[in-house]
Structure 1
Amino acid sequence: MIPRYGRDEMVAIWSQQQGYRLWLEVELFALEGMERIEAIPPGTAARIRDRAFIDIKRIADLEKRLQHEALAFLTSVSEQVGEDARFLHYGMTSSDMLDTALAVQICRSIDLLLESLRGLTDSLRARAEEHRDTLCLARTHGRGAEPTTFGLKLAGFYAEFVRSADRLRLARAEIAICKIGGAVGTYATIDPRVELHVAAVLGLAPETVATQAVARDRHAAVMTTLALLAGAIERLATELRHLQRQEVEEVWEGFGQGQKGSSAMPHKRNPIFCENLTGLARLIRSSAMPFLENIALWHERDMSHSSVERVALPDAFILSDFAVHRLTGIIQNLIVDEDRMRANLEKMGGAYGSQRLMLSLIDGGFAREQAYELVQRVAHQARLKGIDFRHAVESEPEIAANLTESAIERAMDPRGYVASVDYIFNRTFGPPVDPSAGRSEL
């Protein structure tokens, strides 16, 4: 991934140096496991650990000749450790080293991404609480619907990102797999106890039934989870983009000192960060399909998955981490125009009360279809004549004859539509915590 869209900690996990370091760690832990069962002389792992180092240039030079990166790596290490090299990679196949190390990289990446998601959900919760009672217009099909609160909007996104975090934890458990089983996973040349040792040290579990490689449905589960996270990021970014449109202008991205909005038009203040997230989400999601196609490897293994994983795994994790961090900043610095929200709500002229009016007529004895057609006709006439819906309702004899002024007032009161906000908040965040709870009386 280009440096523009990467944060240092996630980029470091996927660096070539770190990848080779993990390969070496897997080999060293396998040596330790072999020592524990007395398959090789004691002290072998310690001596190799003391002497071995990562020489990226030498590995690259060897790969040009060998055309095999894993063998180039092992040859480079063997040159450094001398006679003990005969025990290096003993009874193992390349995928034992590669897939086990890859599982560690993915687990560490998920852990870092979960940490970033905690920052995002904390920020969403704080802003949701801040705007729990901030009235605004809910929109369906891009058109005004009924009143809601901006806090309730944000609470919905909070809940979605919590689900994303839950999926990531499940995906982590599925990918945290060690495979040290030899050429086709039958342990023909290596004792299963070696795998158990490596798995325990790295916090992994042995593959249930391995071939030469770890089954790729596990990796696909990770990538489809990242794709769902990207969908959540884009959904919130798209909402914020719409709310910044000239016709709406209910929120603004933070605008830094000295920031410019357009090279040509000095008045512009564009939703560039939300737009950027929309594009990044497309890139993340685009990796899901190749990983689904990676599942069907030939027989006990082929190499068709390798190139996909080399490119897509680092990029998807680096982009996901960057996008979550950027979105967190947007939420923290978001400017919310409560007055504009109220003004846009009032522009409806009370039309958001149409359902409540219809229900009141039904309660008074109207058939549903009769009540619907009456309210619909009044709404259409109000729009054609350019008058408030409320005025049109009060001027309609059939409605006036069947509904009291207080019933019409209740239908037009925006606060009546958000009476259950506390109930939804408690369901989303849990009931409020009493600060004095648990304190003993002095």
Structure 2
Amino acid sequence: MTLSPLTAVTPIDGRYYNNTKDLTNYFSEFALIKYRVLVEVEYFISLTKSGIPQLSHFDGSLDEKLRDIYRNFSIENAQWIKDTEKVTNHDVKAVEYFLKHEFEKLGLTDSLEFIHFGLTSQDINNTAIPYSWKEAIAQVYQPAITELLTELKSLSSAWENVPMLARTHGQPASPTRLGKEIKVFIERIEKQLNLLAQVPYSAKFGGATGNLNAHHVAYPNHDWVNFGNEFVNKVLGLDRSQTTTQIEHYDNFAASCDALKRVNNIMIDLCRDIWTYISMDYFKQKITAGQIGSSAMPHKVNPIDFENAEGNLGLANAIFEHLAAKLPISRLQRDLTDSTVLRNIGVPFAHTLIAIKSTLRGLRKLILNESAFQADLENNWAVVAEAIQTILRREGYPKPYEALKDLTRTNAHVTQETIAVFVDQLAVSELVKQEIKAISPSNYTGVQL
């Protein structure tokens, strides 16, 4: 069958393709090949400026034409490389042959052997992949998570003064405000995003076993360490690991995965809370004409967006965990297990993106049901007991906690009237009694955060 959203093996490229298609620019086979070409071209350009005598005739006039090789990289070019790989059985070597073919078109036949000069395939993979990861986070993830934060901030502001019964251990507790509870998730996500931003995009660039052996033996008087640092850090905008085996350590890549996983955990927490509020009738959901909530029960409008998000976040985190645990471990100077694993880094990224978009859809369907909030508060006057006993502590009243404990546990249902009768019997001033009676579940919500 022809590959299409209906025949794709995974929902990433099938059911959810419209949500994930932007990631093809960063994590597809085409994208990986293109980023490899980019690194090879930029490496060659850097070599022409390094003082190597055989490349001294390059004056920079061809730099942009060379860059056009990756700027104008096409599906046909990628297919040329894939066809060559069938012969070479080596993906990076096929890229090298493609570049030699392109250089010949530019008349650079005398410089062909300086393509991929002194390198191993991991010098290309371990720069191309963090480069694509960095761009995907900047161009896709950050805009998506920022859109979610913007929506949460809007809702937090709109619901800033909506009093709500809190529940600790699932039981009625001191009231809070809905806007503040949304703000909790905003702060948590922003803090984790700040940690994510501190993780370097590390890259390995040092030859077959990390010592720049081939470079040094060919040109022993060159400062190849400085060259590698300049190329990786300044040209590619990554962070070169200094002492490596044949491959990157992946420790910082693992840290990036862990940071994304923590943000996802916070989103799971958010989705479960909103799901629960919907089940408590705190929120209604906007109904789209023609849509069906249940195939059997016509009345239902299910919180499917939050359920979809939670499921995708779980899948994403399972893979992020594997990436973070597996990639930093390699036998001796290198084994190949990282290669096939790295081809899947777009998978948790895609599930995360699906989840962010699902969460946004769910949030935008919410309709505040203030009467449910008020009814819950009015039905739980016992929660002001904390306020009363604290004021009595201030006034030096004997054993106030115990007095409120007896009141709230011996009465089947504490009401405003129950509280008023209790307060009238207290041996405190009328002013203090009035102060206590002014407290209600709706106004006992603490400071505005």
TM-score by length of 1: 0.84
Q: Tell me, in whole angstroms, the C-alpha distance in 1 between the residues paired with 2:237 and 2:171.
A: 51
Counterpart in the other structure of 1:115: 143
Count of paired positions: 408
Please point out which of 321, 329, 334 is paired with 1:296.
Answer: 329
CA shift digits 1:69-88 (9 cap, x unpaired): 22233334445544443222
Is structure 2 residue 400 aligned with structure 1 residue 381? no
Partner AA of 2:389 in structure 1 = M
**Larger deviation, residues 186-195 vs 229-238:** 186-195
> Aligned match of 1:31 in 26, 44, 48?
44
SS in 2 for 1:7: helix
Contact 1:361 1:402 in 2 (8 A): no
Following superposition, the deviation at residue 373 of structure 1 comes to 3.1
CA distance in 2: counterparts of 1:51 and 1:130, whole angstroms? 51
Residue 297 of structure 2 corresponds to residue 265 of structure 1: yes
**Unaligned runs of at least 5 residues, structure 1:** 425-442
Change beyond 3 A, Cα 1:211–1:269: same
The match for 2:9 is none
Deviation per CA, 1:248-272: give whole Å up to 9, x if none: 2112343323221111111001100
Name the CA shift for 1:198/1:272 in 2 (closer, same or farther; >3 Å).
same
**1:317: Cα distance to partner?**
1.6
Paired residue for 1:99? 126
Alignment of 1:86-235 (within 5 A): 86-111=113-138, 112-171=140-199, 174-175=200-201, 177-190=202-215, 191-195=224-228, 196-235=230-269
The Cα of 1:204 is off from its aligned counterpart by 2.0
Structure 1 position 227, deviation (Å): 0.5
Residue 372 of structure 1 pairs with residue 401 of structure 2: yes
Map Cα deviations across residues 210-250 of structure 1 (whole Å, 9 max, x no partner).
322221111101100111011111111111000010xx211
The CA RMSD over aligned residues, in Å, is 2.6
Aligned residue in 1 for 2:273: 239
**Superposition deviation, residue 62 in structure 1:** 4.0
Distance 1:182 1:289, change over 3 A: same
User: 3-state DSSP class of the match of 2:438?
Assistant: helix
Deviation at 1:198, TM superposition (A): 4.8
- Specify the alignment match of 1:2 in structure 2: 13
**Superposition deviation, residue 394 in structure 1:** 3.8
Cα 1:376–1:262 change in 2 (3 A) is same
Deviation at 1:364, TM superposition (A): 4.0
Find the partner of 1:73 among 95, 106, 123: 95
Residue 4 of structure 2 corresponds to which residue in structure 1?
Answer: none
Q: Unpaired runs of 5+ in structure 2?
A: 1-11, 216-223
- Report the residue type matching 1:376 in the other structure: K
With structure 2 as the length reference, what TM-score do the two structures score?
0.83
Partner of 2:418: 392
Cα contact 1:249–1:340 (8 A) shared by 2 = yes
Deviation at 1:375? 1.8
Q: 1:325 aligns with which of 357, 365, 390?
A: 357
Distance 1:97 1:139, change over 3 A: same
Alpha-carbon offset, residue 388 of structure 1:
3.2
Cα distance per residue 1:166-215 (max 9 Å; x no partner): 122112xx11x343321112122233454323542222232232322221
> Which residue in the other structure is 2:383 paired with?
352
Percent identity, aligned pairs only?
Answer: 22
State the Cα distance separating 1:274 from its structure 2 match: 0.4
Q: Which amino acid aligns with 2:40?
A: E
Instruction: Find the counterpart in structure 1 of residue 6 from structure 2.
Output: none
Task: Spell out, residue by residue over 1:38-60, the C-alpha distance to the aligned partner (whole angstroms, 9 max, x if none).
Answer: 43434587776667856444444
Give the letter aligned to residue 388 of structure 1: V
1:115 & 1:51 partners in 2: Cα distance? 29
